[in-house]
Amino acid sequence: MPTTLLKLSCPDRVGLLSRVTAFIAERGGNLAEVHQFTDLEAEWFFTRMAIGTNTLRLPLSSLRAEFSPLAAELGAQWSIRREGEKMRVVLMVSKLGHCLADLLWRWRSGELVCDIAAVISNHDDFRGMVEREGIPFHHVPVTTANKADAFAQIERIWDETGVDLVVLARYMQIIPETLCERWEGRIMNIHHSFLPSFVGANPYERAWARGVKSIGATCHYVTGNLDEGPIIEQELVRVEHFHSPGDLLRLGRDCERQALARGVRWHLADRVLLHGKRTVVFRD
Amino acid sequence: MPTTLLKLSCPDRVGLLSRVTAFIAERGGNLAEVHQFTDLEAEWFFTRMAIGTNTLRLPLSSLRAEFSPLAAELGAQWSIRREGEKMRVVLMVSKLGHCLADLLWRWRSGELVCDIAAVISNHDDFRGMVEREGIPFHHVPVTTANKADAFAQIERIWDETGVDLVVLARYMQIIPETLCERWEGRIMNIHHSFLPSFVGANPYERAWARGVKSIGATCHYVTGNLDEGPIIEQELVRVEHFHSPGDLLRLGRDCERQALARGVRWHLADRVLLHGKRTVVFRD
Amino acid sequence: MPTTLLKLSCPDRVGLLSRVTAFIAERGGNLAEVHQFTDLEAEWFFTRMAIGTNTLRLPLSSLRAEFSPLAAELGAQWSIRREGEKMRVVLMVSKLGHCLADLLWRWRSGELVCDIAAVISNHDDFRGMVEREGIPFHHVPVTTANKADAFAQIERIWDETGVDLVVLARYMQIIPETLCERWEGRIMNIHHSFLPSFVGANPYERAWARGVKSIGATCHYVTGNLDEGPIIEQELVRVEHFHSPGDLLRLGRDCERQALARGVRWHLADRVLLHGKRTVVFRD
Amino acid sequence: MPTTLLKLSCPDRVGLLSRVTAFIAERGGNLAEVHQFTDLEAEWFFTRMAIGTNTLRLPLSSLRAEFSPLAAELGAQWSIRREGEKMRVVLMVSKLGHCLADLLWRWRSGELVCDIAAVISNHDDFRGMVEREGIPFHHVPVTTANKADAFAQIERIWDETGVDLVVLARYMQIIPETLCERWEGRIMNIHHSFLPSFVGANPYERAWARGVKSIGATCHYVTGNLDEGPIIEQELVRVEHFHSPGDLLRLGRDCERQALARGVRWHLADRVLLHGKRTVVFRD
């Protein structure tokens, strides 16, 4: 069944859900899946609606045009999108390929529905793995000296591919703040700790030294403040005294793969709504 | 904020959510929390709405009366209830008191909002524990010979207390089928296995013998078919080869306590909707 | 079967396990349960042995005396103790009684084998709950002005009861450093966050503000550095955007209860071995 | 550090651990990692020892020869093996490639240390994926008519490769009983349910219909009784009413991948000891 996705957030008010659902019902839309959440502290309303379009009495462009004045009145951030319309994704990676390999597999098997427009790396190691999937691979080395140039080149690739989502799949360079701001809510990172524990470098070694009984990974949107961005998903695994720092690395890889894959999947399906430092995730 | 709870399930159709939310909006109701789920296979619609009643322009009895024709038209099962209106609960227990003690503690501390109208047991062991909480305790021994009489007496207590929910908190007698039918969806049991594994007696011993790597507990509504009722909640814990059958018993107790406490909490807040052999749980 | 517990840690060397097991075998001891761990980074050896004493050819005091020279040679920290010999425990609590009630229940039902010598609180709220279990209750108010006196009184109670383990079951006063040092490895706390996240006050509110997707509780030994002590156990629960700070409090309580109960149980059974900032936990 | 692995199980008796560790210590072996478990119900002893061989005063063949009489006296099942000596593994797969891809990735990245001698499939779909890793791929179609011939061919491949472990990575044909018996404890399967729930076909659909709140996967040794073999590992994931049968399939895939990968890893490192219908797993 062809489906249209409406994603919307706005200040809360009486009758909000009624007005939005009436708008859709009047145009023949059938709600296949509705999520709604009201943050009572922030007085903010969030919704995601999957609308069956078989019975819809107007094309998508008209639906958008007619919804626009209502959205303006509500002061809403919103999007209306055909479900099949694939987002364009750029993956970025450094030396550790487990997340990259995992995302490629899920993409090839149809679990992640998107176009992977490019893979960018500061190393050349994964060229073969990427190109045999028919995906362009860009080797953009980053040094202290060339950092500005390198990220200018990276930004050019993002622009040329018309990227909807950048995924840092264990990319170990810090994204310049100007890029973070321009692509706010569209750059996703996997951090190899259960944030806010062990912000920064070598989290597994530090987790071992602290003697924690679980370790984890955090998928979050990237902001100018390192490891401080809004959290989308976290995955954890129990560890014990007999796990060495090397064991934590190994166990953590599975957490990283899963937290990142879920975060990407949910973003691609318009299931993540940002509000300040928190996210609303209508997971599947 | 005073709140009214609407719980409703009915066959799915176009415009359903719009009609229900319009009904509420027209009467000044503010939706504080909305859950909605459409089972696309069963073509069935489920909703639970928490309506702020400060701005509502009519008393609860009128709201019910005015909603009645709409509900009839939709072919809906529904209820409208003031959130503060406490359900009346009867707890039943045999020899193992960990679930009973846990429920009493959660009730006393305000985590479970209800009236505990009575505790019924086929043993006299927990009289002191119950009566010091100011709750009537009924000792109703059950033997093969007196089973019909015993359950007639139990049914009388249920009737006299006007019970909304019966909780079998490790009650080891089988409830007669006629009672299961009359109180369908209002008798809740905790089974000490991860159903459908280990239906019947001695599940921990059998889990040990089978060498499973996790054990669990299942909170479900009681039907005429033993351990076959709709599942509300399950809780699990990992086990290893070094856990003896006795260890499984101990570890399982924590699963039982938690799965049952959550099931009770969600039922009391109208968060569990039954449909055939499955439940929809809008958990908190 | 009567059992003797040997707990030992010392620098690693070749033949260590052989020498200790030979010592026991030569005296007729049968090893019912053996745990052994070598920290290859610290080059430190840890063991716990449960020795069946039916066949042991000498009394416990002689076993200790004969083991003493070997232990000295190995530079070991060690204890030999009859399993049935109950540790003496003092519980301390402030205003939140869920951990206290949970520990009392587990103690009464035989899950925690110990003598509860006293409960100390800076409030009088739980006197009834404690005294009806036949346990002495001490109300020791703590203010900024009387802090030194109050803790002198507390230390006196610890001394008089001959306490083996002090459990801070949501006790909200900071233990003076001198007491932390004197009772190193014998004071256990439950912190209501997944440390090292949210050290300090109001962890649930801060977890909510940060938007984490799991919250937890940490059972640890108390040292002079607040919330920095060696971790014994942690328990976690997934949370979502719809959980309010109040929901986190509620969900966290179950984590606190379980992490603390397990920590206490393992300490009472000589299953926790301290080494620097980390613990070795031979859990059951 | 070069390491030798001793794996042993035998009837329990007094002084067992002492004798085995003395044997090693007398020959200069340093115990880097020791696991020991006594099943008090079965009166059976299990151990796995990782012996540093730097200081060992004899070659591996002599160690085996000298250990042999002791093992015979103890009535032990045992093996002594150099850690670096890679087991030879054959993977078998049908139409679903997620477990195969996962195992190949973990093998290539060094997480699974073994030789993959061959991949056998009753379909030709994964030839490319396998051959580009330099692994021989055998397409052996299986029909009702040719079943005996097909498995004779499969057995020939197992024999020719000198296989130590056969992994059924979503291989959907039933292994003939004679092969199960000949390779007892050396054929590993991943079943896509949390056994013993949903033995047999279509477990995800049946889990959905039953309305369980968690689904899982089970890694087990294959015996003549379908899905009844000794369990090595299980992995679970929570599900809710909104997960369709298709969602369960997707979520289950991650459980399957992880449970199987761990089972394989532990088998390759001699961490799994079989005893009747149960396993002892000294996991890492």
Chain segment A105-131, per-residue pLDDT in tens: 999 999 999 999 999 999 999 999 999
* Distance (Å) from the alpha carbon of D259 to chain B's nearest alpha carbon: 11
- Asked if omega into D196 is within 30° of 0 (cis), the reply is yes
Interface contact flag, D16 C34, Cβ < 8 Å = no
> What digits encode the pLDDT tens for the residues B250-279?
999 999 999 999 999 999 999 999 999 999
Average confidence (pLDDT) over B230-238: 98
User: How many domains, in total, are found in chain C?
Assistant: 2
In this prediction, what percent of chain A has a pLDDT beyond 70?
Answer: 100
Query: For position D259, which CATH number holds?
Result: 3.40.50.170
Name the pTM for this structure. Answer: 0.97
> What digits encode the pLDDT tens for the residues D234-267?
999 999 999 999 999 999 999 999 999 999 999 9
Long-range contacts of A52-61 (CB under 8 A, 24+ apart): A52/A1, A52/A2, A52/A3, A53/A1, A53/A2, A53/A3, A53/A4, A53/A29, A53/A82, A54/A1, A54/A2, A54/A30, A55/A28, A55/A29, A55/A30, A55/B14, A56/A4, A56/A27, A56/A28, A56/A29, A57/A27, A57/A28, A58/A27, A60/A4
Domain check: are D37 and D66 in the same one?
yes
Domain check: are D60 and D93 in the same one?
no
Domain check: are C253 and C154 in the same one?
yes
Q: With a cut of 50, which residues of chain A have pLDDT below it? A: none
Domain check: are B236 and B185 in the same one?
yes
List D125, D227, D247, D254, catalytic entry:
D227
Question: Which of D49, D82, D115 represents a domain boundary (last residue)?
Answer: D82
Place C227 in a pLDDT band, splitting at 50, 70 and 90: confident
Domain check: are B73 and B110 in the same one?
no
Instruction: Report how far residue D55's alpha carbon sits from residue D27's, in angstroms, rounded to the nearest whole number.
Output: 8
Interface contact flag, B198 D196, Cβ < 8 Å = yes
Q: Please state, as a whole number, how many other Cβ atoms lie within 10 Å of the Cβ of residue D29.
A: 26
Question: Which of B52, B82, B112 represents a domain boundary (last residue)?
Answer: B82
> What digits encode the pLDDT tens for the residues D166-207?
999 999 999 999 999 999 999 999 999 999 999 989 999 999
A12 carries an active-site annotation: no
The contact set of B with A (CB < 8 A) is 14-19, 21-22, 24-25, 28-36, 38, 40, 55, 238
Question: Which of D52, D67, D82 represents a domain boundary (last residue)?
Answer: D82
Interface test with B, best of A12, A16, A17, A284 (most B CBs within 10 A): A17
Q: Are A100 and A131 in contact, with CB atoms under 8 Å apart?
A: no
Domain check: are B64 and B115 in the same one?
no
Partners of residue D90 on adjacent β-strands? D118, D166
- The angle subtended at Cα A97 by Cα A95 and Cα A100, nearest 5°, is 130
Interface test with D, best of B231, B233, B234, B241 (most D CBs within 10 A): B241
> What digits encode the pLDDT tens for the residues B236-255?
999 999 999 999 999 999 99
Domain check: are A265 and A205 in the same one?
yes
In this prediction, what percent of chain B has a pLDDT beyond 70?
Answer: 100
Pick the closest to residue D271 from C18, A236, A242 (CA basis): A242
> What digits encode the pLDDT tens for the residues D135-163?
999 999 999 999 999 999 999 999 999 99
**Which string of b and e fits A40-67 if b means at least 16 CB within 10 Å?**
eeeebbbbbbbbbbeebeeeeeebbeeb
Distance set, CA C26 to CA C55, C58, D192, D275 (Å):
11, 11, 50, 29
Instruction: Report how far residue B223's alpha carbon sits from residue B91's, in angstroms, rounded to the nearest whole number.
Output: 17
pLDDT, residue C77, reads 97
Domain check: are C131 and C272 in the same one?
yes
Long-range contacts of C171-178 (CB under 8 A, 24+ apart): C171/C92, C171/C93, C171/C94, C171/C121, C171/C122, C172/C94, C172/C95, C172/C122, C173/C94, C173/C122, C173/C142, C174/C226, C175/C151, C175/C222, C176/C147, C176/C148, C176/C151, C177/C224
Place B93 in a pLDDT band, splitting at 50, 70 and 90: very high
Which DSSP string corresponds to A160-188? HHT-SEEEESS--SPPPHHHHHHTTTSEE
Partners of residue A9 on adjacent β-strands? A46, A77
> What digits encode the pLDDT tens for the residues C156-186?
999 999 999 999 999 999 999 999 999 999 9
Q: What residues have CB less than 8 Å from A15, skipping those under 6 apart? A: B21, B25
pLDDT at D1 over 80: no
Place C53 in a pLDDT band, splitting at 50, 70 and 90: confident
* Distance (Å) from the alpha carbon of D269 to chain B's nearest alpha carbon: 18
Q: Are C267 and C165 in contact, with CB atoms under 8 Å apart?
A: yes
List C125, C227, C247, C254, catalytic entry:
C227
Tokens of A227: 């490891």
Residue-averaged pLDDT of chain C: 96
Domain check: are A71 and A127 in the same one?
no
Q: Are C118 and C161 in contact, with CB atoms under 8 Å apart?
A: yes
Domain check: are C276 and C162 in the same one?
yes
Domain check: are B156 and B231 in the same one?
yes
> What digits encode the pLDDT tens for the residues D9-60?
999 998 999 999 999 999 999 899 999 999 998 999 999 999 998 888 899 9
Report the neighbours of D using a cutoff of 3 or more CB pairs below 8 angstroms: A, B, C
The whole domain housing B65 covers 3-82
Interface test with C, best of B254, B256, B283 (most C CBs within 10 A): B254
Q: What residues have CB less than 8 Å from B121, skipping those under 6 apart? A: B92, B93, B94, B137, B138, B139, B140, B171
Instruction: Report how far residue D275's alpha carbon sits from residue C22's, in angstroms, rounded to the nearest whole number.
Output: 27
Quick one: DSSP state of residue B174?
A: P
Query: For position A38, which CATH number holds?
Result: 3.30.70.260
SS3 D5: strand
Q: How many residues does chain B have?
A: 284
Chain A residue whose CA is closest to C36: A242
Domain check: are A138 and A236 in the same one?
yes
